[in-house]
Amino acid sequence: MSEATPTGGAPNEVTPPNPDAIFALHSAAMREASEPRDGIKPTPVSYLIMCFFWVLFGGWYMGYYSGEFRANGLNERAVGGPLAAAPPQNPMVLGKEIFGPCMQCHQETGLGVPGSYPPLVGSEYVLGDKRRLVAILLNGITGDLVVKGKTYNSQMPSWKLREDEEIAAVLTYIRASWGNSADSVPTNLVTTIRKELGDKGGWDAKSLAEFAESKPAAVTPVEAQATK
């Protein structure tokens, strides 16, 4: 290998390489070998606000057009119609249910307990004046009571807390059960007598008889027919 001799230089003197050229060569190699790095520029606030807005909008949309997430909610916004009135209950079915607590005294057979609780089967109070029968249930009765020629001494509690429909149903039930075959008691009759009685207390045999003999307050033709 020949040695380079610079112009005007001494014999056998080697010229040193250019340091800038070596540095440039190594810099290029190191640059190609370096791992790429992500920038450290923060996420724009405007982008975060936009994402937050779309999340809120998506939640609102899902809630408003979800159809309550029901299997039959096919319409995104079902138009509701008027509420359908509930079908009237069968008074015999409702009356039998309401009669449950009464069986403790009047028994499941309606025959009552001799000397204590009067029978409902064939009773003149059950089959007779409906106005008087409703009054007994609304206010209750105490003391001696003669039913079918026999005296009973017990207490019938007030049913004022029951709804008019319930009272009418249970009276309809006892008037048409165990061989009884009297007609039904309408709900509007119970409503009318409740207003007529007001805050009156419980009955005894005498006050109940006086009430039965008194003329009822002015009633509508329908209510008057119902008392017969």
Among 62, 68, 185, 182, residue whose Cα is nearest residue 134: 185
Region 105-125 average pLDDT? 94
Q: Which of 41-55, 69-83, 161-175, 203-217 has the lowest mean pLDDT?
A: 69-83
pLDDT at site 2: 46
The pLDDT-based confidence of 79 (bands split at 50, 70, 90) is low
Alpha-carbon gap, residue 165 to 186, rounded angstroms: 8
CATH 1.10.760.10 applies to domain 91-226: yes
pLDDT at site 27: 72
pLDDT at site 161: 92
The pLDDT-based confidence of 200 (bands split at 50, 70, 90) is confident
Cβ-Cβ contacts under 8 Å for 204 (sequence gap 6 or more): 141, 142, 143
Mean pLDDT for the chain?
81
Residue 94 clears pLDDT 90, i.e. is over it: yes
pLDDT at site 12: 60
pLDDT at site 102: 93
What is the tens place of the pLDDT at every residue in 29-77? 666 666 666 666 778 888 889 999 999 998 888 877 766 666 555 555 5
Tell me the C-alpha to C-alpha distance, in Å, between residue 176 and each of 171, 207, 212.
9, 27, 22
pLDDT at site 180: 95
